[in-house]
Amino acid sequence: MDEIKNLENYGKIEELKRRREEYKLGGGPEKIEKLMHSKGKLSIRERIDLLFDEGTFVEQYLFAKSQCKDLGMDKIKTPADGIITGYGKINGRLAYFYGNDFTVMGGSLGRTSNLKSSYISMQAARVGAPLISMVDTAGARFQEGNMTQATSQMMVNIANSGYIPQVSAIMGNCAGGGAYIPALTEFIISVDKTSRMYICGPEPIKQAIHQEVDPEQLSGGYTNNAISGNTQCLAADDRDCIEKIRLYLSYMPQNCNEMPPVYFCDDDPERMIYELDDIVPDGFNKPFDMMKVIELIVDKDSIFEIQPLFARNLITALARLDGHSVGIIANNPKYLAGCLDVDAADKMTHFVDTCDAFNIPLIWFTDCPGFLPGIDQEHKGIVRHGAKACYAMGVASVPKISVVLRKQFGASAVAMGGFGQNMDTILHWPFFSASATNPEGSVKVIFRREIAAAADPEAKTKELAEEFKEVMGDVYTTAERLICNDIIAPHETRKRLIQELEILRTKNRDLVFQQIPKKRRGIRPV
């Protein structure tokens, strides 16, 4: 052993090691067991170890602690001030991170912890790398008064929006105004049974309106994913949550100025899929498995569905074609016949915005009978929600391809990759039909007197509907009128999409709106 030349320096280095280990324990082993493991949750350090490639995580601001001395805070230890920040590699790519340590004052948010999260978020923006947050907090730290620094984190999230991918994992409590911090990121994961995300909790609801409510029913992981649509993904547990974060980022570029990573693909780009030729049933009203259609076309085992439990009448998913990331939007005939409603319109809007921000081409698979009719939808604002979807689609400048499988009725044609929405390519399968509404609905309006006078009104309606389809909605008629680029056989779809996407990689997105004078921004419908 080499002789220690400077005992004073040696002592200081050993003190550094001791302090590091002490701070990394957070609230200590007992609290980790009581507050985390006993509830089926991993500690923040365990979560970090699973998220980042082994040995790559570099912690920042470890030795920070609360500066508050009031209300007994001078007697409370706050290692790292209850929030861990740093950077590391995920699948070999740089990413930044902050996450609450629930074992330190319930992961509560004080001035120092809020400054830490803001600083690391700004660092992520400076170098152009994704930012992941893991939320597990009791909320604002009452001893430190107001939440001014929390609002600064919101502003950082807003500034970073669409510039770097921002992922939030709700892995415990996320309440009150603090819920807006993850809500201002584009991809939010909730964990079943252990996460809570709400503005107003059960007790305040009881006090305000005398309503008893179960916490899980109000704001649990399933509720936020399947019912309110506040989150884009539901994880079974902490480990599943972290796997989904890593998977999501594999489709994303580092920032908006880069393209998504390309993965090796051993799935033949010219593969013919003859199973597709028989997948669409006769008639307009029979359902079929749209997810199977997508699975057959994209690279094998490449689908990552977004919000699979919310607005199930519309499918949104990330996938790959010949190793390249694509965003998929598709009607789901198994739910509400694939109609668009308020929730589906919101789901599409957010997904289109995300893909457009991060250079991910969009592909629509359309079989849409229209927007969902009814007084409930009209009162919920289907006009403005549908307008948001149309707006998002119209301003999106990434490559946009539409494949219309069977029908495209009414105003939904505009929202679902229809003609006139700056589409790059529109492809029709030979089963296609389009009109302002269902053909039978159209002829009942146009020929109401003839139908009423007929001996068999039902038979007359069907006869006129067939004539209407031939004149207005025939696939070859639409091709003659340049409403689509081509009519293709279903089995050719994968090959054709890959060909189109290859050509569109050089698309000049700045020229999409060259006829419109330069402006600061558009105003999204309310």
Same domain, yes or no, for 169 and 309? no
Q: Is residue 488 part of a domain?
A: yes
Give the separation between CA 47 and CA 179, rounded to whole angstroms.
21
What value does the mean pLDDT take over residues 114-134? 95
What value does the mean pLDDT take over residues 454-473? 76
Same domain, yes or no, for 246 and 284? no
Same domain, yes or no, for 332 and 452? no
Same domain, yes or no, for 305 and 236? no
Q: Is residue 256 part of a domain?
A: no
**pTM greater than the 0.95 cutoff:** no
Same domain, yes or no, for 61 and 101? yes
Same domain, yes or no, for 471 and 409? no
Confidence band of 445 (pLDDT split at 50, 70, 90): confident
Which of residues 218, 234, 250 is at a domain's end?
Answer: 250
Same domain, yes or no, for 153 and 237? yes
Helix axes 148-160, 111-127, angle to 10 degrees: 10
pLDDT score, position 522: 64
pLDDT score, position 9: 85
Confidence band of 102 (pLDDT split at 50, 70, 90): very high
Is the pLDDT assigned to residue 148 strictly greater than 50? Answer: no
The total number of structural domains in the chain stands at: 3
Give 144's Cβ-side CA count (13 Å radius).
Answer: 23
Q: Is residue 518 part of a domain?
A: no
Edge-first strand order for the sheet with 233-235 is 58-60, 83-90, 93-100, 131-135, 166-170, 187-191, 233-235
pLDDT score, position 147: 46
Same domain, yes or no, for 445 and 424? no
Confidence band of 73 (pLDDT split at 50, 70, 90): confident
pLDDT score, position 458: 85
If DSSP codes are grouped into helix, strand and coil, which group holds residue 98?
Answer: strand
Confidence band of 465 (pLDDT split at 50, 70, 90): confident
Q: Is residue 264 part of a domain?
A: no
Give the separation between CA 404 and CA 426, rounded to whole angstroms.
8
For 156-175, the pLDDT digits (tens) are 999 999 999 999 999 999 88
Same domain, yes or no, for 86 and 209? yes
Give the separation between CA 392 and CA 354, rounded to whole angstroms.
10
Annotate 404-419 with DSSP letters as a single string: EEEEEETTHHHHTT-T
Compute, in degrees rounded to 10, the torsion defined by CA atoms 427, 373, 228, 256. Answer: 30
Q: Which domain covers residue 465, as residue numbers?
A: 437-475
Q: Calculate what percentage of the chain has a pLDDT beyond 70.
A: 91
pLDDT score, position 180: 87
Kindly state the tokens that stand for 289. 């498995």
Same domain, yes or no, for 428 and 441? no
Same domain, yes or no, for 302 and 165? no
For 330-389, the pLDDT digits (tens) are 999 999 999 999 999 999 999 999 999 999 999 999 998 888 889 999 999 999 999 999
Report strand pairing: 433-435 vs 400-409: parallel
Q: Is residue 451 part of a domain?
A: yes
pLDDT score, position 385: 93
Average pLDDT, the chain: 88
Q: Is residue 517 part of a domain?
A: no
Q: Is residue 130 part of a domain?
A: yes
For 472-522, the pLDDT digits (tens) are 657 887 887 888 899 999 999 999 999 999 999 999 888 776 666 666 556
Same domain, yes or no, for 385 and 502? yes
